[in-house]
Every structure is written in C-alpha cells, then in structure tokens.
Amino acid sequence: MQIQVNTDKNIEGTEALKQQVASTLERILDRFSNHITRVEVHLSDENSASKDTSMDKRCLLEVRVAGMQPVSVTDQADTVDQVVTGAARKMVSALDSALGKMSKS
C-alpha cells in the first residue's frame, strides 16, 4: 500500500509527520491492505496557526482500491493525529460498505 501525504502551507510536511501518518493508516487500514493500491492524504489547517480555534485541522483521505472508483472521506479535529485517526476510522466504514457491495455483485 503506497501512502502519499500532502500538506498545505500551514502544516509543515516533515518526514516525521509523514512517517506518523503512514504508521497510523497502516495500522487502522491493515485488513484492507490486499485491496488498497494507494492512499492519498491531504492535511490542511483551515484557520492557520495564527488563530486559536478548535476543529481546524482537516484530513481528506482518498483510497484507491483495485477495480473500483476511488473512495474518499474527510474529517476535522483539533490535532493532526486526531484528524488522521478519525479519517482512517471513517475510511474503514466506507471500505466495508464499498467492498461489501462489490462482493455481492
């Protein structure tokens, strides 16, 4: 499973951040690893670092599954770690649904 992490200008896309995101996604999406070819992660800080508001981190996850259209989910939270975990958990539900429908066809 290939994981690509993209950040906006308000989140520093360090190697440590990319490793942390990849580790979280690999752990949570592990049972789908045989189906997933690629995961694109788009992290953004909706209000930038200059404003102190909650739920300003956003994560868009787009997963490409062999033989299917891409599946995408978004989540918002206070921290990058929380938003990646939340989006990954939403993706588990989306993949359960999408792969369940595919197996019934």
- Tell me the mean pLDDT in the region 24-41: 96
Helices 15-28 and 80-104 pack at an angle, to 10 degrees, of 40
**Residue 77 belongs to a domain with what CATH number?**
3.30.160.100
Write out pLDDT tens, residues 10-21. Answer: 999 999 999 999
Q: In what order do the strands lie in the sheet with 36-45?
A: 2-7, 36-45, 57-65, 71-77
Range of the domain at 92: 2-46+55-104
Write out pLDDT tens, residues 44-103. Answer: 998 765 555 677 899 999 999 988 999 999 999 999 999 999 999 999 999 999 888 665
Per the structure block, which two tokens stand in for 53? 């508001």
Query: What is the distance between the alpha carbons of residues 90 and 92, in angstroms, rounded to a whole number?
Result: 5
Q: What is the pTM of this model?
A: 0.88
| Number of folded domains that form the chain | 1
